[in-house]
Chains A and B, each alone.
Chain A
Amino acid sequence: MTSHTTPATLEARGWGWRYATRLRWAVRDVDLRIEPGERVLLLGASGSGKSTLLQGFGGVLGGADEGETHGALLVDGQKPTDARGRVGMVLQDPDTQTILARVGDDVAFGCENLGVPRDEIWQRVRSAVDAVDLDVALDRSTAALSGGQKQRLALAGVLAMRPGAILLDEPTANLDPQGVQDVRDAVAAALDVSGATLVVIEHRIDVWLPLVTRVIVLGAEPEGTVVLADGSPDEVLGARGAELAASGVWVPGHPPATPPAPSQRPGETLVEARGLSVSRRRGLVVAGPFDIDVRAGEALGVTGANGAGKSTLGLTLAGLIPAESGLVSALPTLAAGEKSDPFRWSSRALLTRIATVLQTPEHQLLAKTVRDELSVGPRALKLPEAEIAVRVDDLLDRLRLSSLADANPYTLSGGEKRRLTVAAALATRPRMLVLDEPTFGQDATTWAELVGLIARLRDEGTAIVAISHDEAVLAALHARRIEVGR
């Protein structure tokens, strides 16, 4: 298959960008040149500006009212906004990149914007869909696709534009292991076909290392954004492997610190499920039947492919959604005076017994400041203000949120929001904690921190139910596994 475009040159000459809402320059004075056809892995600690740089190349940063710029950013010698269609970007969130309702239409969207004639559009659509190995009909609904399929759909949409450069901003952060592999393979196939320049930002670099020829590490220094390292993968990782691992990258050979094995044997059973079948909607069984015991001081890992029903099972055990059939019962030691079915408990009763941390932090933010967010649970329990203050300060300390105590929760970074939602669940000292994908989309540092925290809770006697497609999490927690969907 022939491609009709030439690979693009990407260049930054003393370029900087400051968002209108920030004091600090996101990128300042960076000098960088990427030759046509190169495949670059762009790394750097958070705050180094790598994502801003990528968005700058993509031409999506916005105009003069959204920020200031200095220096020049060039794609084939032109400004990125003048080179629309030369650069294609795939972003992190699968859901906000599907633009139209049907697969074929979505892939055709980029071509329509470039004014490609109709017949050629559909030719390009078909070859792009084949290139990414997306084996679905062109009139399939995009909402019905899995995360990995949606990201491949976005990639197909980019490929159909025949860009000279493909930029990927954490494309696999929100995917399960199968999805990660599929997307990586699709990118490899796309590059074989088009020979375009590639720049990819990712934390989990092991799948990308075989594909890239050059690794660039950015750092934010006082004098500006500096290229800390630039060379072949072996050179850079050899010289700076430990440093990169400390900044949150999963460097092969430098795994994040994992907590020690449990010091005690599991304690008493707190919740048991017998013949449990779960469903999202009445009558539509998603998974089951299960026989499960949730024990104090033990981590139970719920694993399986995305969509198999892991979350549904976890939420049913947590008393948030009703069981389709079978029984979920809390033993008297946990129920402590309430009925045995957690779903029948009032929401206040759940607070000290079973706490749940959902997958998306933004669904769980209730207050205007971080401090108030942590106080919501204790206030609902009608604890005295002094006690609330003590607990909140303790949690702010333990989870390193003290400097953010008066910030609006929505303004926190992804990792900070996750720590906040976990802290909020702990404010009422629950005996059982259910966590839905706690390390989803996080870098290695946050990963290690959260896993360490969960392990400590386990050792203190809390029953942990961890829903995760990440095998490493379950291994680190020495969790007993329940597999859903096989």
Chain B
Amino acid sequence: MSTSTSGSTTESASATASPSQGLGRPELWRWRGVDIVVASVVAVACALVFLLWNVGYEVPSTILTPLLPGVQGLLAGPWLIAGVLGGLIIRKPGAALYTELVAAVISALVGNAWGPLTIVSGLVQGLGAELIFLVFLYGVWRLPVVMLAGAGAGLACGINDRILWYAGADTLFTTVYIVSTTISGAIIAGLGAWLIARGLAATGALGRFAAGREVTARV
């Protein structure tokens, strides 16, 4: 038997925001504590993946490079996942940039070959994904958009690397490299992040996020 005391209200969960509401939604602009912490933790987990991949990519790289110079760009994907995954889970402006940047900072602090410039890479790569999500007004999260965001990060990565690290390379290398990183971004970072997010939602770990609630029904 329920009685409502005067003055009490029933607040219902907001329906999934439609993309047509665009950037005007107020809840889009306020990051909750859990948004910040989970984005940071995703960045940490991705940084661990980075650290493992920093060691692991040497062998495939030495095999791929002689085939076609620049094609080692296909291995760039794992470094781009942080931004795409962060954006996909948190779904707020700045999420992709923040997650990729934090992952890069951790990677730099623990120590890698690229030092402080890792942070620059993180910034640029995060922006690449962020801009795509912005174009879709942070409202569309289907696979094609996510892959596009991965491609955006990959493109940014390719250009960044070419300027900073492969400054002595020729046109063939440059073109192949940037195309490779873009493809790698779309598939490994884009599709990969989407699959990871789907898997995470199925485990119930994303219950506090829209990304978790839209996949599973109320149980």
Please list the residues of chain A having a beta carbon within 8 angstroms of any beta carbon in chain B: 13-14, 19-23, 28-29, 62-72, 223-224, 368, 408-411
Contact = CB atoms under 8 A, between A and B. Distances in A.
Per DSSP, chain A at the interface is mixed
Given A13-B8, A21-B204, A224 B218 contact: no
Contact of B14 (A13, A23, A65): A65
A28 B2 CA distance: 9
A69 B204 CA distance: 21
B213 interface: yes
Contacts of B213: 20-21
Given A22-B219, A64-B11, A70-B9, 20 more contacts: A14-B3, A14-B4, A20-B13, A20-B207, A21-B207, A21-B216, A21-B218, A29-B1, A29-B3, A62-B208, A63-B32, A66-B13, A70-B4, A70-B10, A72-B5, A72-B7, A72-B8, A408-B202, A411-B203, A411-B204
A192 B199 CA distance: 48
B27 interface: yes
Q: Which 8 A-B pairs have the closest CB atoms?
A: A410-B203, A411-B204, A23-B218, A20-B13, A29-B2, A70-B10, A21-B207, A64-B11
B32 A14 contact: no
Contacts of A66: 13, 208
A28 B207 CA distance: 20
A159 to B, nearest CB: 21
B122 interface: no
A13 B6 CA distance: 11
Given A20-B13, A411-B203, A14 B2 contact: yes
B38 interface: no
A414 to B, nearest CB: 13
A63 B12 CA distance: 10
Contacts, number: 76
Given A28-B2, A70-B10, A65 B203 contact: no
B interface, size bucket: 20 to 34
A411 B203 CA distance: 6
Interface in B17-70: 27, 32, 34
B8 A71 contact: yes
Given A14-B5, A21-B219, A71-B4, A64 B204 contact: no
A68 B10 contact: yes
Contacts of A19: 207
A19 B204 CA distance: 12
Contacts of A70: 2, 4, 8-10
Contacts of B12: 64, 68
Contact of A22 (B3, B8, B10, B218): B218
B170 to A, nearest CB: 48
Nearest to B208: A66
24 contacts: A13-B5, A14-B3, A14-B5, A20-B13, A21-B219, A22-B218, A28-B2, A29-B3, A63-B27, A63-B32, A64-B14, A65-B13, A65-B14, A65-B27, A68-B11, A69-B10, A70-B9, A72-B7, A72-B8, A408-B204, A409-B203, A410-B203, A410-B204, A411-B203
A169 to B, nearest CB: 17
B83 to A, nearest CB: 23
A23 B217 CA distance: 9
A23 B219 contact: yes
Contacts of A28: 2
B205 interface: yes
Nearest to B9: A70
Contacts of B2: 14, 28-29, 70, 223-224
Nearest to B200: A410
A69 B10 CA distance: 6
Contacts of B219: 21-23, 411
Contacts of A67: 13
